[in-house]
Amino acid sequence: MAKTIAIPKLGMTMKEAKIVAWKFSEGDRVEAGNVVLQIETAKVTYDVEAQAPGFLHIVAQPGTSLPVGATAALLAETREELAQLQAEMPAGAAASAVSAPAGKPSPGAAAAGPPGQRAGRIRISPLAKKLAEEHGLDYTVVTGTGPDGRIVKEDVEKALAAREAAGAAPAAPAGQAIDGKRVKTVLPLRGMRKAIADHMVLSLQVAAQLTTLTELDMTEVIRWRKQLVERQASIGFRVSYTDLLVYILARALKAVPVMNASLIDDQVVVWEDINIGVAVALQLSEYESGLIVPVVRNADRKSLAEINRALASVVERARAGTILPDDVTGSTFTLTNTGVFGNAWAWGTPIINQPESAILQTGAIVERPAVVDGQLVVRPMMPASLTFDHRVLDGAPVAVFLERLRDLIQNPATLIV
303 and 252 assigned to the same domain: yes
- Tell me whether residue 400 is in a domain: yes
Amino acid found at 186: V
State the alpha helices, DSSP H only, in 72-125: 79-88
- Tell me whether residue 177 is in a domain: yes
H/E segment holding residue 270: strand 267-270
> Hey, is 158 helix, strand or coil?
helix
E-assigned strand segments in 124-204: 177-178, 181-182
- Tell me whether residue 384 is in a domain: yes
* Domain limit, last residue, from 88, 116, 143: 88
Q: pLDDT tens digits for the chain (417 residues)?
A: 889 999 988 877 788 888 888 989 889 999 999 999 988 887 777 889 999 999 999 998 888 889 989 999 999 999 999 988 888 876 655 544 333 333 333 333 333 333 344 445 678 888 888 787 777 677 777 878 887 778 888 888 888 777 665 544 455 566 777 778 888 888 877 777 888 888 899 999 999 999 999 999 999 999 999 999 999 999 999 999 999 999 999 999 999 999 999 999 999 999 999 999 999 888 777 888 888 899 999 999 999 999 999 999 988 887 777 788 888 889 999 999 998 888 877 899 999 999 999 999 999 999 999 999 999 999 999 999 999 999 999 999 999 999 999 999 999 999 887
Tell me which residues are annotated as active site.
Answer: 390, 394
- What's the CATH number where 163 sits? 4.10.320.10
- Tell me whether residue 153 is in a domain: yes
Q: Which residues contact 38 (CB under 8 A, 6 or more apart)?
A: 19, 20, 21, 22, 23, 45, 46, 47, 48
175 and 296 assigned to the same domain: no
211 and 178 assigned to the same domain: no
- Tell me whether residue 71 is in a domain: yes
Rounded CA-CA distance 143/136 in Å is 17
310 and 388 assigned to the same domain: yes
Measure the N-to-C terminal CA separation of the chain; round to a whole number of Å.
65
Domain extent, residue 68, equals: 3-88
174 and 195 assigned to the same domain: no
150 and 265 assigned to the same domain: no
Read off the pTM. 0.72
Give the CA distances from residue 273 to residues 181, 250, 295, 299, in Å, rounded to whole numbers and listed in that order. 51, 10, 12, 8
In the chain, how many domains are there?
3
48 and 69 assigned to the same domain: yes
- What's the CATH number where 24 sits? 2.40.50.100
34-39's contacts with Cβ under 8 Å and 24+ in sequence apart are 36/5, 36/73, 37/5, 37/72, 37/73, 39/7, 39/72
- Tell me whether residue 121 is in a domain: no
